[in-house]
Amino acid sequence: MMKVIALAGNPNVGKTTIFNALTGLRQHVGNWPGVTVEKKEGVLEYRGQKFLVVDLPGTYSLTAHSIDELVARDFLLKGSADVVVNVIDATALMRNLFLTMEILEMGLNNVIIALNKVDLAEKHGIEINVRRMEEVLGVPVVAMSAKEGAGLDELKEKIHQMANGMLKERPVIPQYDPEVEREIEHIMAVLRDTELGEEYNLRWLAIKLLQRDDGVIKLILRHLGSEKLDEIMGHIAEVEARYKRAMDLIIASQKYEFIDRLMHRFVRYTKVEGESFSDQLDRFLTHPVYGLLTLFGVFYLMFKFVFAVGLPLQGYLDDAFTAFGEWLAPHIANEALRGLLVDGIIAGVGSVLSFFPLVFLLFLALSVLEDVGYMARAAVVMERIMRKFGLPGKSFIPLVLAFGCNVPAVMATRTLDDERDRLLTMLVNPLIPCSARLSVISFLAGAFFASHQALVAVSIYATAVLLALLVAWLLSRFVIRGEESPFIIELPEYLIPSWKTVTLHSWERSKEFIKKAGTIILLGSMAIWYLSSYPVQMGTGGSYAERLGMFFEPYMRLMGLDWKAAVSLLFGIIAKENVISTYGIIYGSEEAIAGAMTPLQAYVLGMVTTLYVPCIATIGAVRAESNWKWAAFTVVYMIALASLVGILIWNVGTALGY
């Protein structure tokens, strides 16, 4: 059985970079917090021994506020790891050692500290005596620069030694004021009469009970009963009254004081830094006005780049698939097989695959913005706006992830501490256009608005984001009420992106698009071809697709659309790319589609495709992260919203003569 190595640490400390270096995997590494929202696993082989490496979500503490914190805490608490590698950022020791102290308070004696970013710390004049740090903390410390691969071999060796019992440690435990220590001892004495000591460290339980940790309160209630628990909580309230502060604040401040005393024994600051260029840039990029203007400018340029470079490539691919179909058709004698391959699979899958360059370029642009460190600044700018609509600033991270794919974005809401914030963010998340919807938007923009593709795309994206904010405001006022949680985000260092990393990362994200084309889009294209070819060929009004579309056509007419749009949107529920593949199968070519709709109808179709029901995978993610009630609610409100917007744009546009 493989020994288990857990990687724990604050967000954005390089934990996933170390995970990838140890396992040879390519998990997403981002220069902003919240990238890892669930634990990931890989295998390390060293000295002929295999280890299971588990990358836990980044967390600032082990008090269970959010789901990611709970995932990390439960894994460590249940003793699932043979070795815990606590990755800490050498440039932010005080904050990172807070989590270290929480881990050591659990009673773990198998902790290795991976002191990452030591090269950056030296640049900032932070001199760390690593050997002295080991003596003071009582655990092994490995100085590292994970990005450069420095210290990796030493870390592997320490892991091997610790896992095989060749390293012993005597970790330091935080000490508090005598009055707090007395209360900890009192609670521990009460808990010793229970069976909790067999499974948990009693000092850790006592400290978490003092901090009124919900999970620990429920656990102790089951073992002590309400009467004894009420008595303990009464004691805690008396201590808080004497301090005139909540106990979690008392413990946190005394823990920071303890860390400060420790740091004086192994850290020396060799220079005092004034306002750096990075600080000046931050002031500009996070300014309420300049920052917002920069944000719009950055995203406009991003789409401009995607369309300017991607559309010619898309055209070449589309021509290649069309030429391949024309070449293949005469070689297949069987009419049904020819129709399935040429008109069904090549026309359907080919029309979707031709948009791969745009999807890859969008991910490339987003990866560059992430790695440079801009996305965290954008989150600060948007926080002020989002708060006015009832969303916490921390929601910006899952909402930005949704531009790539709504499924991981819904899962990323786990980083939100408050359940009300999490649910609110999850429900509006599907309104953010994902990369699949980019293929539909870019197709319609290219076919009907050749001179203004970027402007049309940005207008659809901006409308979708604005509607997401409005829906959030309505839900927060009338459906999901509650207090907003505070916004805390770490601004990472500005970095020059590694083109190798950015390209690999973009490929890892965009290859899902190709996988989908080879699976769900392929099946969808075959189904669409069958429905449009049987029992009679489409065009007679008797094909299954026409009958299905005709059923919904009266409703679609309210938005200026016909039965073909109805069929496309129905198949788009499986995967949004099916909207394009359906049109490709029905019309056969982009030119034929361009001649079948007006620009106004194309704009309505693009907007409705963006806003109506999310794909099945996203609905499943919402259900998994909440329940069926909220998943059904999401489907219903998005259909209503898309219909309302579609009808409004069509009638206003018609009245204006478009």
Which of 200-233 are b and which e, b meaning 16 or more Cβ less than 10 Å from the residue's Cβ? bbbbbbbbbbbbebeebeebbeeebeeeebeebe
Q: Which residue has 């092994």 as its token pair?
A: 140
Instruction: Say whether 16 counts as a known binding-site residue.
Output: yes
Instruction: Say whether 85 counts as a known binding-site residue.
Output: no
Instruction: Say whether 9 counts as a known binding-site residue.
Output: yes
SS (H, E, C) 215-275: HHHHHHHHHHCHHHHHHHHHHHHHHHHHHCCCHHHHHHHHHHHHHHHHHCCCEEECCCCCC
Instruction: Say whether 13 counts as a known binding-site residue.
Output: yes
Instruction: Say whether 15 counts as a known binding-site residue.
Output: yes
Instruction: Say whether 92 counts as a known binding-site residue.
Output: no
Amino acid at 207: I
* Other beta carbons less than 10 A from residue 237's beta carbon: 10
Looking from the CA of 198 toward its CB, the CA atoms found within 13 Å total 4
Q: How many residues does the chain have?
A: 658
Instruction: Say whether 576 counts as a known binding-site residue.
Output: no
Instruction: Say whether 38 counts as a known binding-site residue.
Output: yes
Instruction: Say whether 35 counts as a known binding-site residue.
Output: yes
Q: Which residue has 């938007």 as its token pair?
A: 441
Two tokens, residue 54:
């588990």
Nearest to 569 by CA among 642, 628, 641: 642
Instruction: Say whether 117 counts as a known binding-site residue.
Output: yes
Instruction: Say whether 119 counts as a known binding-site residue.
Output: yes
Rg (CA), the chain: 28
Instruction: Say whether 23 counts as a known binding-site residue.
Output: yes
Instruction: Say whether 118 counts as a known binding-site residue.
Output: yes
Distances in Å between the Cα of 264 and the Cα atoms of 86, 133, 183, 546 are: 21, 10, 28, 77
The per-residue DSSP string of 114-130 comes to EEE-HHHHHHTTEEE-H
Please name every residue paired with 7 in a beta bridge, in sequence order, or none if there are none. Answer: 55, 85
Looking from the CA of 635 toward its CB, the CA atoms found within 13 Å total 15
Instruction: Say whether 194 counts as a known binding-site residue.
Output: no
Nearest to 58 by CA among 79, 87, 80, 81: 87
Contact yes or no for 525/325 (Cβ under 8 A): no
> Helix, strand, or coil here: 474?
helix
Instruction: Say whether 622 counts as a known binding-site residue.
Output: no
Question: Using CA atoms, how far apart are residues 432 and 321, in angstroms rounded to an integer?
Answer: 30
The per-residue DSSP string of 299-363 comes to HHHHHHHHHHHHHHHHHHHHHHHHHHHHHHGGG---HHHHIIIIIIIIHHHHHHHTTHHHHHHHH
Instruction: Say whether 10 counts as a known binding-site residue.
Output: yes
Note the Cα 271 to chain centre separation in Å.
Answer: 37
SS (H, E, C) 476-521: HHHCCCCCCCCCCCCCCCCCCCCHHHHHHHHHHHHHHHHHHHHCHH
Instruction: Say whether 344 counts as a known binding-site residue.
Output: no
Residue 497: asked if its preceding bond is cis (omega within 30°), the reply is no
Two tokens, residue 10:
């604050």
Question: Using CA atoms, how far apart are residues 190 and 202, in angstroms rounded to an integer?
Answer: 10
End-to-end CA distance of the chain: 69
Instruction: Say whether 225 counts as a known binding-site residue.
Output: no
Instruction: Say whether 58 counts as a known binding-site residue.
Output: yes
Two tokens, residue 643:
């219909």
Two tokens, residue 565:
């749009």
Angle (CA) 111-114-120 rounded to 5° is: 155
Instruction: Say whether 116 counts as a known binding-site residue.
Output: yes
> Helix, strand, or coil here: 3?
strand
Question: Using CA atoms, how far apart are residues 392 and 413, in angstroms rounded to an integer?
Answer: 11
Instruction: Say whether 312 counts as a known binding-site residue.
Output: no
Q: Residues at the annotated binding site for GTP?
A: 9-16, 34-38, 55-58, 116-119
Q: Residues at the annotated binding site?
A: 9-16, 20-21, 23-24, 34-38, 55-58, 116-119
Q: Residues at the annotated binding site for Mg(2+)?
A: 20-21, 23-24
